[in-house]
Structure 1
Amino acid sequence: MIFLSLLISLFISDPLKVTQDQNEIILGLKELQSYEDKSNQLTFADVKSPSFAANFTQKPNYKPEDYNRNSTYWVKLNFTLPEYEGNYILEFYDQTIDSINVFIRQNRGVYRKYNLGDSYPFSSKSIKHKNFDLTLDANSEYEAYIQIRNSQYADIRVAIKRIDRFIQYSLNEYFLYGIFYGMILIISLYNLLIYLAIREIKYIYYTFYILSVGFYALCIDGIAYQYLWPEQPNWNQLAYGVALYSIILWSSIFSMRFLNTKIRAPKLHKLIVAVLTARSLLFVYSLFFDPSLFRFRNLEIILLSIIFVSSIFVFRRGYKPARFFVVAYGILFLGFLMRALINWSVIPFTTFSYYSLHIGFILEMLFLTFALSDRVRILKANRDRALKRIVTQHEQNVKVINKINKGLERKVEERTKDLHEKNIELQVSNEQINKQSREIAEINSMLDLDNWKLKNNIKKIQRERLLNKNLNFSEFSEIFTTKDQCLEVLASFKWKNGYECQRCDNTKYQLNEENLARRCTKCGYNESPTAYTIFKGIKFDLPKAFFIVYAHLNEDRYTLDELAQIMNMRRNTIWDFQRKVHDEVENNGKAYLNNLLHFGYERLTNFVEVKR
């Protein structure tokens, strides 16, 4: 029986011969002789015994999902190295494996043990490289037993390469890492400077998200283990989970702020908040009670999917800056998908496919930066259009004033000519002096009355036309008089480009004459003019609400107490509504509310002029 075991051992241990023209050989678990120890009790003495040799077999049908994180894997590797001027390197690519114990002997000598893995201090490595490496002499025969333990999926691939190939590969890899992390730092500083310039909080959220991406990449690449905490292996086991949660946290906050899902997609906003809250509770529990839960990385796809769907929904609702956001998250999903396909052995392992997630992160950050820039460009274009309308209105006002002045001058000339003729007649005819005096007095009275009326008309036109004047509550109430007028303004402005149901996108409706609400003919959804606006649910008169908006847009020249006294309202009621106005201006700028007041002003003043 012992003789049979020896024969089997010799047959299985037929060494792998590396030729001189091969500078690198990479062996996966399919090509390696391995054994899965489900009991986790076997020792090196057990697995190297001749009677155990038959248990080492190749698994050509092995798939990554077959990996059992509760087992210990033993790998047996016999190989010979040819003559070469330098050394060879035995390398393990997965930097996240907890423990790799290598028992190796050279030329049938004594076995030596090497402890590798990220659960050991970085200083214990024989080669100070992010991967796990051992130095081998050329022109030698080696026999190795490798014990692998990991709390999550382990990518078991062993590479045998010449030292020149290792140096070339390492230099190229670290060079690419320098470009990758340099871009992250540059984009972070760029967005931080933009925040300091325009003070929009979403740029701070975006900066934190980018830094979280860099933090996560440092952890999974092994760079953080090498440079940031080389002597903290316990923290190294938790760092990637903290970094991944940081990505999800800041990505969600930035997305909700950028897409304004609270207004544009309220149901999806509540779903994002609920899922993020559940994810935060899971993170706290994992961090303090069960760190092994960090291995469930695929959970993050749930929240990312909801954000992706929200961006598509907001974009379809007409928010143009979301287009780059959709592209950015699409690229990120493609990077995650390629990484998963590599782990599942669906696509072959290449340098490009292995770093596809890094490339996806870079492209996503660039497109998100484009999205922020596009949003600023659109807001600037809207502001320019509003300014152009104001300038056009001012030009029209100047033309009206000039026309009125010319008419006044012409009438004054006519009246002066009449007076001159009357004076001549008075000088010629003394007999009619008393009669002419009465006529002149009557004419002067008529002129005074006409001049007084013209001057008052000019002031009223100027007051009604010039929007840059700060009207008081009494003057403002002469324009926005009743609730029905304000509802008419809101309805006309809200649906000026046509009606579209908020739920089913239907364009046909039934009008409620009483409150101007639109009821969808398809789904029956009834939408009032105040729905999805800051005027929804207010308990006081709409004209007063319009004046509070007007006062806020004109730099709040009234205090709360003054407004309360002027409009005969409670101070807290005004303050609550002012906060809604402030949030609307903070999120979407002043353009929307300014356009609403301008639209209502033009509509109501034109109506008054036609009525006259």
Structure 2
Amino acid sequence: MIKFLSKIYFTSAANLHIKNRLLIQLLLLLFIVSPPELYSQASNNNFVELKDDMSELRVTTMFDYFLDSSSQYSIQDISGDNFQDQFNNVSDPHVVYGNLESTIWMRITIQNNQTVYKHSWYLESWGFDIRNITFYLPTPNGNYESSSAGFELPFEQRNIKHKNFNYFLDLRPSETKTYYVKVRRNYNQEFIFYLRTNEKFIEHSLNEYLLLGIYYGVLFIILIFNFYLFFKIKDTLYLYFPCLILSCIWFSLGRDGLGFQYFWPDYPWINKLSNENFIELSIILSTLLFSDRYVQKYTKSKRLWTFTYLAIFLKLLLFIVHAYLYQLHYISYILITIIILLIPLSLGLYALLKVKIYSWSYIFAYACLFLVIVYSYSKSIQLFDSPVLNWYFVYPVIFLEVILFSFSIFNQIKFLQNQYISASKETTLALEKNNQLTNELNSKLKEKVRARTEKIEKMASDLAQKNIELQTTNLKLMELNSQVTQMNNYLQENNEKLKSSVEEVTKDLALMKGLGFEDFKNVFPDKDTCFRFLSELKWKDKYHCKKCGYNKYIEGPNHGRRCRNCNYYESPTVDTLFHKLKFPIEKAFYILYLSNRKDVDLTLNELSEILELRRETCWAFKNKIMQAMEKVGHNRDLSGWETLALVHLEF
């Protein structure tokens, strides 16, 4: 009787304001005289009162619920007067545990006691476990208008195009209405229902989208930067890490509903992949590959490589068994997954410790990964009183994990850069030491040749003096003519040998100054080395296309550069001393090297013989070098020979 009179009163209250006071008195009278069992029945219905100072209210535990285990009832059955006693009060945000295949009917009665008419109220809920949620709005003719949503239905079916489930209540001041919600879900996640005014709903949505935009923006920036490093350095480390970031983004898009709203609204089946073990498998596999490559760049470990791919195999096997053969309890699944991950992690940390690498960011990033896995599977864990914080707790953990892994990469890049600098310094010191030894050897050889030359010259002078004495004495010693003649012949033979020895020593002296051709070939062994050296020398400042002036290029054959804008190809020898060179460039390098040294003065014949070139070819290129020196005012004492390489002569 009370329910019947209440329904008459509240449906006519908007048009019968004059009779309000009489009806209230009548209802109070009936309430006082009603029997105890009727009073008890009415008290089972939760009641939400909206007041002027309210703009937001969490109403999860203010619902009543009915478990439709056979999913056979319709809204007409559920909303009937004889069915209302079967509803129970919601005492826990989970409503009911288990019965995941059953339909849950939820009922809420809301009385709007606000005096302000400008507020519109919305009922909002969210959760990627809700496969199907249907909201029933009472209409003036006593029926109900339904609005269905969920991650099994296309996004376009929603009346309000929002990632959460939002429903307009159409509840004016002084009105009371009862609403019904039918829900089917996947697991025992808490239900989250809020009542919000239009203003509060907009404010909450804008703040939520702003924070999510910052979250995804930072992840996309890190993703693009690592893709750039991959295409620049061609290292798989910078491919595995973007795969991990993409997996985390996919996981987040599936969890908060933005992916369904913007990326796959017409493909609800993707939500199942986003919210189940598949995306977790992607995160773990990409992490294992990234972790192995990260450690291998510090120190090569065959053992770590073996156990990493063993862990990948075990994780794939666990995924197949859990998904298709036997579904494990989520705690067992988490423990096995963590054990699989701990094996390569422990070996990787041990390998890093052996080479004295202490990457705390790498360790804490792995800890964040474990926390994400545990929290994602343990869907009943509630760390905070706020359901919003519980829902989005995994986001800052993922964010921190990606940032820490990025710090690990930056530290590794710095470490490798320092190693490269150290190796370059060692190479430079080795070259300087080699040059010093070469100079010392040359000095010793010069001293020996000088001493030998002086000795030979002294011997020649003595022999000449004796020859004069013998010729003077020849007139006086006719009887010794035959002996003197034999001595003269002997002296002539000695002179010929001495002259030949002097020529050979002089030639050796000339060739031993600086680097010989064979030694020089050790520095520039082939044309590819020369082209690479000339390319680095030519474009050491910056590349600019000669045709269009563009500064971006791709490397072409012979270390040339091709303009990305106009496709013009420029060889390293263009506009240099080696332009249109007709003989091997490594020989031309040696001629240029010799031309810049004062202590080496080979004749064209000697240079032709050493380089196995025609005398005219050597003469022409040496003449070209002299012209280049005159053109730039080259000083052999102050400038290196390589400065002449970039001189262009017009012909």
Structure 2 length normalisation: TM-score?
A: 0.60
Residue 109 (structure 2) aligns with: 78
1:228 deviates by 2.5
Q: 1:66-110, CA deviations, whole angstroms, 9 ceiling, x for partnerless residues? A: 454244333332221233312001111224301223344379954
Which amino acid letter does the alignment assign opposite residue 310 of structure 2? L
Corresponding residue to 1:276 among 315, 320, 323: 315
Residue 131 (structure 1) aligns with: 164
* Alignment of 1:10 onto 2:45: no
1:440 deviates by 8.5
Residue 20 (structure 1) aligns with: 52
1:467 deviates by 8.0
**Residues 68 and 346 of structure 1: CA distance in aligned 2, closer, same or farther (over 3 Å):** farther
- With 111-120 and 191-200 compared, the bigger mean Cα shift is at 111-120
SS in 1 for 2:177: strand
Distance 2:373 2:96 in 1: 17
Corresponding residue to 1:33 among 64, 72, 82: 64
Residue 259 (structure 1) aligns with: 295
Q: 1:508-563, CA deviations, whole angstroms, 9 ceiling, x for partnerless residues? A: xxxxxxxxxxxxxxxxxxxxxxxxxxxxxxxxxxxxxxxxxxxxxxxxxxxxxxxx
Distance 2:329 2:279 in 1: 14
1:32 deviates by 4.1
Q: 1:297-344, CA deviations, whole angstroms, 9 ceiling, x for partnerless residues? A: 857656555554454334333374855432322233345556678842
Corresponding residue to 2:271 among 236, 244, 260: 236
Distance 1:144 1:308 in 2: 53
- With 3-12 and 384-393 compared, the bigger mean Cα shift is at 3-12
- Structure-to-structure mapping, 1:397-412, within 5 angstroms: 397-412=434-449
SS in 1 for 2:243: helix
Which amino acid letter does the alignment assign opposite residue 81 of structure 1? N
**Residues 444 and 386 of structure 1: CA distance in aligned 2, closer, same or farther (over 3 Å):** farther
**Residues 292 and 151 of structure 1: CA distance in aligned 2, closer, same or farther (over 3 Å):** farther
Residue 313 (structure 1) aligns with: 350
Please say which structure displays the higher CA radius of gyration.
2
Asked if structure 2 preserves the Cα contact closer than 8 Å seen for 1:95 and 1:131, the reply is no
Distance 2:509 2:449 in 1: 12
SS in 2 for 1:12: coil
- Structure-to-structure mapping, 1:522-561, within 5 angstroms: none
Residue 599 (structure 1) aligns with: none
**Residues 51 and 13 of structure 1: CA distance in aligned 2, closer, same or farther (over 3 Å):** same
* Alignment of 1:178 onto 2:213: yes
Residue 492 (structure 1) aligns with: none
**Residues 203 and 361 of structure 1: CA distance in aligned 2, closer, same or farther (over 3 Å):** same
Distance 1:381 1:245 in 2: 36
* Alignment of 1:213 onto 2:248: yes
Corresponding residue to 1:200 among 223, 235, 238: 235
- With 36-45 and 159-168 compared, the bigger mean Cα shift is at 36-45
Residue 162 (structure 1) aligns with: 197
- Structure-to-structure mapping, 1:419-568, within 5 angstroms: 419-430=456-467
Distance 2:367 2:316 in 1: 24
Residue 495 (structure 1) aligns with: none
Which amino acid letter does the alignment assign opposite residue 147 of structure 1? K
1:271 deviates by 2.9
Q: 1:211-268, CA deviations, whole angstroms, 9 ceiling, x for partnerless residues? A: 2222222111111222223233344334434444433343333333333486251452
- Structure-to-structure mapping, 1:307-386, within 5 angstroms: 308-318=345-355, 320=357, 323-336=360-373, 343-349=380-386, 351-386=388-423
Distance 1:262 1:4 in 2: 80
**Residues 442 and 212 of structure 1: CA distance in aligned 2, closer, same or farther (over 3 Å):** same
* Alignment of 1:116 onto 2:155: no
1:278 deviates by 1.1
Asked if structure 2 preserves the Cα contact closer than 8 Å seen for 1:335 and 1:360, the reply is yes
Which amino acid letter does the alignment assign opposite residue 53 of structure 1? D
**Residues 210 and 469 of structure 1: CA distance in aligned 2, closer, same or farther (over 3 Å):** same
Residue 250 (structure 1) aligns with: 286
**Residues 325 and 141 of structure 1: CA distance in aligned 2, closer, same or farther (over 3 Å):** same
Q: CA RMSD of the aligned region, Å? A: 4.6
1:27 deviates by 3.1
Distance 1:246 1:341 in 2: 19
Residue 636 (structure 2) aligns with: none
Distance 1:5 1:146 in 2: 27
Asked if structure 1 preserves the Cα contact closer than 8 Å seen for 2:382 and 2:390, the reply is no
Q: 1:126-148, CA deviations, whole angstroms, 9 ceiling, x for partnerless residues? A: 21111111112232212233332
**Residues 357 and 345 of structure 1: CA distance in aligned 2, closer, same or farther (over 3 Å):** closer
Which amino acid letter does the alignment assign opposite residue 254 of structure 1? F
Which amino acid letter does the alignment assign opposite residue 72 of structure 1? T
Asked if structure 1 preserves the Cα contact closer than 8 Å seen for 2:105 and 2:180, the reply is yes
Distance 1:64 1:322 in 2: 45
How many percent of aligned residue pairs carry the same amino acid? 21
Distance 1:295 1:146 in 2: 32
Asked if structure 2 preserves the Cα contact closer than 8 Å seen for 1:64 and 1:343, the reply is no
Asked if structure 1 preserves the Cα contact closer than 8 Å seen for 2:94 and 2:190, the reply is no
**Residues 126 and 70 of structure 1: CA distance in aligned 2, closer, same or farther (over 3 Å):** same
Asked if structure 2 preserves the Cα contact closer than 8 Å seen for 1:67 and 1:154, the reply is no
**Residues 398 and 11 of structure 1: CA distance in aligned 2, closer, same or farther (over 3 Å):** same
Distance 1:218 1:107 in 2: 39
Q: 1:29-57, CA deviations, whole angstroms, 9 ceiling, x for partnerless residues? A: 5x543344445455542575556526503
Gapped regions of structure 2 (runs ≥ 5) = 1-33, 471-483, 527-651
1:280 deviates by 5.7
Asked if structure 2 preserves the Cα contact closer than 8 Å seen for 1:216 and 1:240, the reply is yes
Distance 1:218 1:452 in 2: 80
In the alignment of these two chains, the number of paired residues is 465
Asked if structure 1 preserves the Cα contact closer than 8 Å seen for 2:120 and 2:197, the reply is yes
**Residues 122 and 412 of structure 1: CA distance in aligned 2, closer, same or farther (over 3 Å):** closer
Residue 130 (structure 2) aligns with: 97
Distance 1:297 1:159 in 2: 33
Structure 1 length normalisation: TM-score?
A: 0.63
Gapped regions of structure 1 (runs ≥ 5) = 472-612
SS in 1 for 2:130: coil
**Residues 297 and 40 of structure 1: CA distance in aligned 2, closer, same or farther (over 3 Å):** farther
1:16 deviates by 1.8
Asked if structure 1 preserves the Cα contact closer than 8 Å seen for 2:139 and 2:145, the reply is no
- With 291-300 and 259-268 compared, the bigger mean Cα shift is at 291-300
**Residues 342 and 104 of structure 1: CA distance in aligned 2, closer, same or farther (over 3 Å):** same
Which amino acid letter does the alignment assign opposite residue 312 of structure 2? V
Which amino acid letter does the alignment assign opposite residue 138 of structure 1? R
Asked if structure 2 preserves the Cα contact closer than 8 Å seen for 1:17 and 1:80, the reply is yes
Q: 1:346-376, CA deviations, whole angstroms, 9 ceiling, x for partnerless residues? A: 4322645532322222232233233333333
Residue 560 (structure 1) aligns with: none
SS in 1 for 2:59: strand
**Residues 8 and 466 of structure 1: CA distance in aligned 2, closer, same or farther (over 3 Å):** farther
Which amino acid letter does the alignment assign opposite residue 424 of structure 2? L
